[in-house]
Structure 1
Amino acid sequence: MNRPSTESEYLAGLVPASAGRHGFSRRSMLRGSLLAAGLPALLAACGDGGGSGGGGGGGGEVTLGSNFSDEVPLKTMNAMVAAAEEQQDISVKLNTIDHTTFQNNINNYLQGSPDDVFSWFAGYRMQFFAAQGLASDISDIWETIGSDYTEAFKKASTGEDGKQYFVPTTYGPWAVFYRKSLWQERGYQAPETLDEMKTLATQMQQDGLVPLAFADKEGWPAMGTFDQLNMRLNGYQFHVDLMAGEESWTDPKVKNVFDTWRGLLPLSQSDSLGRTWQEAATGIVNKTSGMMVIGSFISQQFDEADQDDIDFFNFPEIDPAIGADAVEAPIDGFMMSERPRNEDGARELLLYLGSPENGVVQTTNDPSGIAANTESDRSHYTELQKKCADFVANAKSISQFMDRDTRPDFASTVMIPSLQSFIQNPNDIDGLCTQIENQKKSIFTS
């Protein structure tokens, strides 16, 4: 499949303009770290083995810290490592940590004994650690791979100082996913407005289905629902400014987001805080749930034979004046730690990860993603991958995801418990918004 000619233009909004306006201090980052017993030590152990024992050089193993912990991502990462070792003539020691554990404890990991290279996310969260001096400048790598990427991807990989710190590999949109065959059997049609979606959900309920599969045991999945509602009610710019700490959480616009969400909860799967996203996705796979607000990685839960039975629709319009042309499409990739033990090997690994060949390896083994490298062959793409690529290409504005568009300490220590509190008790929106705003002020002004 040819890369859409409009993709460069529409991906230009990948990094909010407000992302670099707030100075990051090491003190404020430390204060926001999660210190759950045992978890930081587990992450720190990632970087204990392998490496050449120096500040940059030569042979020996390259250690790779990875959050590709689920079945399909782990299989994909193993294939990537094997291909990198063969093509770059390096030895890679893969250290895999549970995705959520890795994400929530990244501060401690990077300040401890991190791996030479580690998986991470583009945009604000990348800039945060680059500004702390916890990641290495890899602008020289971009001199080699840069011609294979759009300017928007380079922007999403660039720190506040104008240097590059990130190699993007894949991305994928969030939307409302479902099984085609179930909808055909029931005669369901994709809604274009939220009211139509609620009417459809009510019909699904009457048909004996769970209308909206939902889970938030890990803390981050619910962020996707908030993001969609906020962009549909208040627009893309308000959303990214809110994530950057420049809008108030006590604004009536934010309270309206929670109030609208409250109206969806009776149509959503109950007991979500005790359920992982994979468990919720099982309802879509087994045709006991009608639809799910989730990323394209839901396809990882489907057998190969069922990949063509996955479809999605854009989260519907709420306000015609705002529209529905803002899309969430997070970018995944890799960074190099501040002082890698095997710097030469780490750079060789990153060169491979940024190559067209790696894009093929990733998107073949895990058909939920789209290759960021424009030169990656797309002839093997599934219909879902093709639709995802077109969907993102035709978006007017693109967000990264709540925990990537805001400070990591704010996302982990404030927003995860706040959204879970809302799900448990959705009736005190004023109190919830006041609490979030007070904590936001403390974190963003420290």
Structure 2
Amino acid sequence: MTQASRPTPLAPGSGPGRRGVVGGLFGLTAAALAAPVLTACGGGPKADPKTVTFGSNGADAAPKSAYAAVTKAFTRDSGLKVATNTVDHDTFQKSITSYLQGTPDDVFTWFAGYRMQYFAKKGLATPLDDVWEKLGDGFSDATRQLSRGEDGKYYFVPLYNYPWAVFYRKSLFAERGYEVPATWEEFIALAKRMRGDGLDPVASGYGGGDSWSVLGAFDYLNLRANGYDFHMALMRGETSWTDQRTTRVLDLWRELTPHYQKSGGGRSWQDAAQSLLDKKTGMAVIGLFLGQQVTDEKIRADLDFFAFPEIDPAHGQDAVEAPTDGFMLSRRPKNEDGAKKFLTYLGGAAAEEAYMKADPSNLAVNERASTASYNPLQRKSAELIARAKHISQFADRDSDPGFISTVVLPGLTEWLGHPDDGAATLKKIESQRSRFFTA
């Protein structure tokens, strides 16, 4: 996400550049055809047994430097060279389907969960069960779940993730005597108290290309009220959007909307985040990438977060939104043996430690990786994810991005402008579901 640590903005060229994506991710759009094409590095029919080709979307300074450090270490340890083909994030995602159908690089960067499963199901990736046998037990059950295709085989090797939570300034809470809420009732009560104190309780910025930012609240409301299984069924088009459980999500959300910072539709997520840093708002439902806004280390030390509050005790706080990035193996790699050695290295603790030293905005996924260099927010984030029973990605990663960008987001942002009972909004979204999901 110009660091790779935020969810994917849902319009090309808008919002943070590193996660730009168009609605038709799984098919080329006119914009994609007009963009520079993602092609394989040294794409010819003959393989060099001493070289592994690597397609990377890490074009920004920090991830590019981090990948360079990782590939250098792999070459030193293995004797194999890595030919890296770096393409900017937007072009990579717009061209990914045609790239994988052609002669792609051996290994390529991608995302866990639904997006990985889509290409695995299409036969555009090679199973990695033998790689996972070598990786050992350094990953949680939730991370393993995100790395498997629908057929139960592994297709993905994770590198890093980061959580979404409710962030706040510790000094503000101490000055005003606020206590961290654990339940929805306590959360709403705290918001009302902040409002009474003349403070905007919840930062809000979803203007222009930042409409994706509202999905963090929607996802958590659904996960807490209805549980992980229902949330995933809804994201994957298996459940009706007019289901009474989805109606309840909007009912709950309507309780919170009076406490949002006004005019969120005319504000960027960065401006909303800054209002939290400036103590003009009390809380923000946002990802760990919030820290990228901080230039004063005293303010960084004053930042904290709490898990999104419990709504239904049956589900508690057992699910965490933690988008996970990593790698896949193309369907016909030219150097399969070398590529699998590279992937085995990429999934190991040493590679993750090398990456995090150059790009500390994320968290290592391998539980054996050292966290000695982590700042307090990173350490707490790692603990939050480690405790999770379920890990969701983010709505546009767990669902068809076209459905989210052209149907769900316009519906939800329009509703946020005038949060009524939501029935008409959900009916409109449901009417389009069959266009994107087939039995």
Q: Does 1:313 align with 2:312?
A: no
Residue 128 of structure 2 corresponds to 138
Aligned length: 413
Q: Does 1:442 align with 2:438?
A: no
Q: Does 1:118 align with 2:138?
A: no
Residue 267 of structure 1 corresponds to 259
Q: Which runs of 5+ in 2 are unaligned?
A: 1-22
Q: CA deviation at 1:254?
A: 0.8
Counterpart-to-counterpart distance in 2, 1:51 and 1:271 = 50
Q: Does 1:128 align with 2:118?
A: yes
Alignment of 1:277-288 (within 5 A): 277-288=269-280
**1:164/1:286 Cα in 2 relative to 1: closer, same or farther (>3 Å)?**
same
Residue 182 of structure 2 corresponds to 192
Q: Of 367, 378, 389, which aligns to 1:385?
A: 378
Q: CA deviation at 1:220?
A: 2.8
Counterpart-to-counterpart distance in 2, 1:54 and 1:119 = 22
Q: Of 320, 330, 353, which aligns to 1:337?
A: 330
Q: CA deviation at 1:433?
A: 0.9
Residue 81 of structure 2 corresponds to 90
Mean Cα deviation higher: 251-260 or 190-199: 190-199
Residue 170 of structure 1 corresponds to 160
| TM-score, normalization by structure 2 | 0.80
Counterpart-to-counterpart distance in 1, 2:63 and 2:262 = 28
- The residue identity in structure 2 corresponding to 1:308 is A
**Contact preservation (8 Å) 2:333, 2:339:** yes
Mean Cα deviation higher: 210-219 or 326-335: 210-219
Q: CA deviation at 1:392?
A: 2.5
Q: Does 1:254 align with 2:222?
A: no
Q: Deviations over 1:327-371 (max 9, x none)?
A: 223322111333456656644542332121122123334444332
**1:151/1:365 Cα in 2 relative to 1: closer, same or farther (>3 Å)?**
same
Counterpart-to-counterpart distance in 2, 1:102 and 1:429 = 36
Q: Which runs of 5+ in 1 are unaligned?
A: 1-29
Q: CA deviation at 1:76?
A: 3.9
The 3-state SS of whatever aligns with 1:220 is helix
Q: CA deviation at 1:320?
A: 4.3
The 3-state SS of whatever aligns with 1:38 is helix
| TM-score, normalization by structure 1 | 0.79
**Contact preservation (8 Å) 2:57, 2:87:** yes
Counterpart-to-counterpart distance in 2, 1:104 and 1:196 = 43
**1:295/1:436 Cα in 2 relative to 1: closer, same or farther (>3 Å)?**
same
Residue 23 of structure 1 corresponds to none
Residue 224 of structure 1 corresponds to 216
Q: CA deviation at 1:78?
A: 4.8
**1:61/1:389 Cα in 2 relative to 1: closer, same or farther (>3 Å)?**
closer
**1:236/1:72 Cα in 2 relative to 1: closer, same or farther (>3 Å)?**
same
**Contact preservation (8 Å) 1:215, 1:276:** yes
- Give the RMSD, CA atoms, in angstroms: 3.3
**1:53/1:146 Cα in 2 relative to 1: closer, same or farther (>3 Å)?**
farther
Alignment of 1:364-403 (within 5 A): 364-403=357-396
Alignment of 1:20-99 (within 5 A): 33=26, 36-42=29-35, 45-47=37-39, 50-54=41-45, 56-59=47-50, 62-66=53-57, 69=60, 72-73=62-63, 76-88=66-78, 89-98=80-89
Q: CA deviation at 1:278?
A: 3.4
**1:32/1:305 Cα in 2 relative to 1: closer, same or farther (>3 Å)?**
closer
Find runs of 4+ consecutive structure 1 residues off by over 6 angstroms. Answer: none
Q: CA deviation at 1:68?
A: 6.6
- The residue identity in structure 2 corresponding to 1:358 is A
**Contact preservation (8 Å) 1:57, 1:345:** no
Counterpart-to-counterpart distance in 2, 1:278 and 1:92 = 35
% identity of equivalent residues: 45
**Contact preservation (8 Å) 1:118, 1:335:** yes
Q: Deviations over 1:147-175 (max 9, x none)?
A: 44345533322223333211111223221
Q: Deviations over 1:235-268 (max 9, x none)?
A: 2332222223332211122112113223322322
- The residue identity in structure 2 corresponding to 1:141 is V
